[in-house]
Chain A
Amino acid sequence: MQEPLVCIVDDDEAIREALRLLLYSEGLNSVVFESADAYLAEDISPECMCMLLDIRMPGTDGLELFRILKKQHLAFPVIFITGHGDIPLAVSAIKQGAFDFLAKPFQEGELIRKVKAAIHHFQKNRKALEKRRALKLRVDSCTPREQDVMMLLADGLPNKGIAEALGISPRTVEIHRAHVMEKMNADSLPALVKMITSLGP
């Protein structure tokens, strides 16, 4: 089990340290970074369970770092720290998938509450995310032809129909199907269909 770790990215030293201390007072570990680039240089993302991110920073700003993290499919929640006039920016960040935002100065207890909610959310969904990643790996282990057969199975086609759709013999479909069931670790057709559906389109 990992200790919950919060990453704080803010260019103002006083704010960084105050946030770190506030989280520490609640028994939450954190690491601080003075810029987006300092964060990216550290490769700490696998351990990060929540990020407090200043929206305005010199160089790579908060929104830009957020976009980079999304490209890397990193799923930890990001809470933006915003100033007075930045609420519209914060709202657009939420629309892009940020977990929440905090306007400076923070209300008493607000920061702790939001960080805890974010960590809780991440921990709760982490299993689902890991499951999904594992499932994707299994899909990747199938050959392209097996994947074709799998998709048509999920659409509810019988072996004969799949054979016609792919222009191959029913016997070959039979073999592919057996491989798919084995590689996907599915013990029945309904179980396979459930897996495919959970991955979404």
Chain B
Amino acid sequence: MTREFDNHETDTAFDALLEATVDGIIIIDQAGTVLRFNKAAEQMFGYSEAEISGNNVNRLMPEPHHGHHDAYLAQYASTGQGSIIGDGREVAGLKKNGETFPMFLSVGEIKRQGAWRYVGIIRDLTDVQAGREQVRELEEQLFHADRLVILGELTAGIAHEINQPLTAIAAYADAGKRMVNRNSAVSNNEIDSICERIAEQSRRAASVVERLRKLVRSGTVSKGQHEINQIIRNTLLLFEYEVKKLNIDLRFYPLEPLVELYVDEIHIQQIMVNLIKNGIDAIADSGASNGRIEIRVSKLASDVVVSVSDNGPGVPEQYQSQLFDSFFTTKPKGVGLGLSICKTITGAHGGSLTYTESKQGGSTFTLSLPLELIG
């Protein structure tokens, strides 16, 4: 330590400043040894200045920075590379009691007469992060509510999808009973085959319930590797009945070869459900009897592109710019959140969602998702 710095650092005005500031301030030397540790820092980390002074600053960091910090300093001192000086970032801090907390760290450099010091200014982000998490939670609740609303509108179709296997099961069981009661010559093979069919249809019903359970599920986002064609197929199942009822010609052109995306499966399904439902509603409202919906998955450069086209009336030009705005709707009973939620979800996946007029004169929504892993 040089005199100049000692003089400066013991300056009473400087001490008062350190004392008064609400941000944590830590001054270290080139080796990472703590020289000063202000009151705000004491409160954040739980160490007193006396306790921490003379110790390596890496004591305030969890891994991996704890182990690497000395090397960072050495590298910066010798090459000037790899510093965070002049620019701040969010990192984790390690308290005396072992807890970590989110903080915003900016580092400045003091270089005077050959002696280097670094000043770290720290803002505790615990409250900010809690706020962000709350926003995320509320957002997730909103997504969940949107899924429930759509499922509510699809009840008839869902009932149909469960009713079909149940009908088959009841009929198989009825047949089996009759065969056993009336015909003593019924073979084990026949009974075996009936039981197998009943089991198969039970699994069919269970898989419908499982898919629904997933969509109805609330809670946190979980991304994973999912095959895009399969995500879409799972969604289509919900619409089979409605499509049949309105006599819509729905065609799905899956992507070959198969591609896995790192996505939240339920959120992508939510987008698909919204887009397909919009297409069906558009066709139903127009009263057309030759409704068509085309879902096409393709690969474009480093994106997977899913387009949903209908031959409904399309979106009038004056509404197109508001299409993805919250609370904008043209449906009499709509809330106007579906597409805005889809856009938010798409953004969280690093993708894009756009509207164009379809070749058939209706709407085309194009969902683009990057192939590369997105956090």
Contacts and interface: CB of A to CB of B under 8 A. Distances in A.
Q: Do A and B bind each other?
A: yes
Contact of B178 (A19, A25, A105): A25
A103 to B, nearest CB: 9
Nearest to B186: A25
Contact of A21 (B159, B164, B175, B182): B175
B171 A22 contact: yes
A26 B164 contact: no
Interface in A69-121: 83-85, 104-106, 108-109, 111-112
Contact of A105 (B166, B204, B247): B166
B244 interface: yes
B175 to A, nearest CB: 4
Interface stretch (A32-40, A56-64, A148-156, A157-165): A56-64
A18 B171 contact: yes
Interface string B348-367: 00000000000000000000
Is chain B's interface secondary structure helix, strand, loop, or mixed overall? helix
A134 interface: no
Interface residues of B, number: 30
A19 B247 CA distance: 25
A104 B178 CA distance: 19
A14 interface: yes
A25 B182 CA distance: 8
A162 B167 CA distance: 63
Nearest to A105: B167
Contacts of A12: 164, 168
A19 B163 contact: no
A108 B204 contact: no
Contact of A61 (B160, B163, B247): B247
Contacts of B167: 15, 18, 104-106
A84 B175 contact: no
A83 B168 contact: no
Interface in B166-180: 166-172, 174-176, 178-179
Nearest to B247: A61
Contacts of B156: 84-85
A106 B164 CA distance: 11
Interface string B176-195: 10110011000000000010
B245 interface: yes
A17 B197 contact: yes
Interface residues of A, number: 25
A67 to B, nearest CB: 15
Of A22, A24, A112, most B-chain CB atoms within 10 Å: A22
Contacts of B204: 14
Given A21-B194, A25-B182, A104 B163 contact: yes
Contacts of B163: 83-84, 104-105
Nearest to A24: B175
Contact of B244 (A18, A56, A106, A109): A56
Contacts of B247: 58, 61
A42 to B, nearest CB: 23
Given A18-B175, A61-B247, A84-B163, A106 B170 contact: yes
B165 interface: yes
Contacts of B346: none
A15 B200 CA distance: 12
Nearest to B244: A56
B201 A14 contact: yes
Contact of A25 (B159, B175, B201): B175
A104 B194 contact: no
A61 B164 CA distance: 17
22 contacts: A12-B168, A14-B164, A14-B200, A18-B175, A21-B194, A22-B171, A22-B178, A24-B175, A25-B175, A25-B179, A56-B245, A58-B247, A83-B163, A84-B163, A85-B156, A104-B163, A104-B167, A105-B170, A105-B171, A106-B170, A106-B174, A111-B171
Interface of B: 156, 159-160, 163-172, 174-176, 178-179, 182-183, 194, 197, 200-201, 204, 241, 243-245, 247
Interface of A: 12, 14-15, 17-19, 21-22, 24-26, 56-58, 61, 83-85, 104-106, 108-109, 111-112
